[in-house]
Amino acid sequence: MFEASELNIRNHRVERLWGLLFLLMTVLLILPVVVILGVLVYKGGPIISVDFLFTEPKDGMTAGGIFPALVGTIWLVAVALLASVPVGIAAALYLSEYAPDNWLTRIINLAIINLAGVPSIVHALFGVGAFVLFFKFGTSILAASLTLAIMTLPVVIVATRESLQAVPQAFREACWNMGASRWQTIRKVVLPNSISGILTGVILEVSRTAGETAPIMFTGAAFFLPFLPQSVFDQTMAMSLHLFVISTQVPGVPEAMPYGVALVLIGMVLAMNAVSIGFRMYLRGKKKW
């Protein structure tokens, strides 16, 4: 019978200690999320109802529901995705598949990294100057969504580029040896095998877009509009700004209402992410490698 040596016993103990340490770190990361969700459900759950979700605010936003803000948030997220995802994927394709490795490409990559670190309030001021004033979109859904698209563009570019580079180079070489052009290889082989990673960037963008307040406060979100927008050139209410307003600016708001708005906002983001994650898992399951 094999008898463990003292070195093996010591290594096993060290391994168990490291495992417990990593488990503790994981619990410490998850615990605040669980506590926050628990508090939101406990304090905001009683106010959630059909009327709360599908009616407009009333009595100076101290009563009624959140339907205009809910629809406005969907507008903002959808237009921002339409503006940023095609541009982000195209930029990542160029940087990954076409651009040579030179000083210009390195400057572009550095600029993308720096853009990801710019504070949201700076993006808000840029959106006011560029989209509200220069392009004369006014304070509208279009101006706010384009500002959000600029802010989240680095996320899409980086996630897409990493996903493209994860496709084995042998796949490309096999296509080239069969006579396929570079674009045919990208369209038929590279993109289908990287779509699950691209969706990861889209998921991150949805989460950040739905929760931002500063960029939309100056460019398109309204303090109070008890009706639905008719086009991208209208202003709209938004969940994140509505939560800020009823929490800090409106007196006499029931205690449960801000928690209910926050709970609905998190639930909406989780629902959007769940759809994207489900689609990503479906596509990942069809991979042959």
Find residue 236's DSSP bridge partners: 221
Which CATH superfamily does the domain covering 50-285 fall into? MetI-like (1.10.3720.10)
Angstrom distance (rounded) from CA 1 to CA 3: 6
Q: Residue 135 has what pLDDT?
A: 93
Q: Residue 288 has what pLDDT?
A: 59
pTM of the full structure: 0.87
Task: Identify the CA nearest to 104 among candidates 95, 115, 96.
Answer: 95
pLDDT digits (tens, 9 = 90+) for 167-197: 888 888 888 888 888 888 888 888 888 887 8
Stretches in the chain below the pLDDT threshold 50? 1
Amino acid at 212: E
pLDDT digits (tens, 9 = 90+) for 73-92: 999 999 999 999 999 999 99
Angstrom distance (rounded) from CA 118 to CA 112: 10
Task: Identify the CA nearest to 77 among candidates 283, 275, 285, 268.
Answer: 268
Angstrom distance (rounded) from CA 144 to CA 207: 16
Q: Residue 287 has what pLDDT?
A: 63
Q: Map out the domains of the chain as residue ranges.
A: 6-47, 50-285
Q: Residue 67 has what pLDDT?
A: 93
Angstrom distance (rounded) from CA 183 to CA 192: 13
Whole-number CA gyration radius for the chain: 24
Find residue 192's DSSP bridge partners: none
**8 A C-beta contact, residue 59 and residue 254:** no
Q: Residue 273 has what pLDDT?
A: 79
Which residues does 238 contact at the CB level (< 8 Å), separation at least 6?
A: 69, 72, 73, 76, 144, 213, 216, 221
Find the largest Cα–Cα distance for the chain.
82
Angstrom distance (rounded) from CA 164 to CA 89: 10
Q: Residue 250 has what pLDDT?
A: 85
Q: Residue 289 has what pLDDT?
A: 58
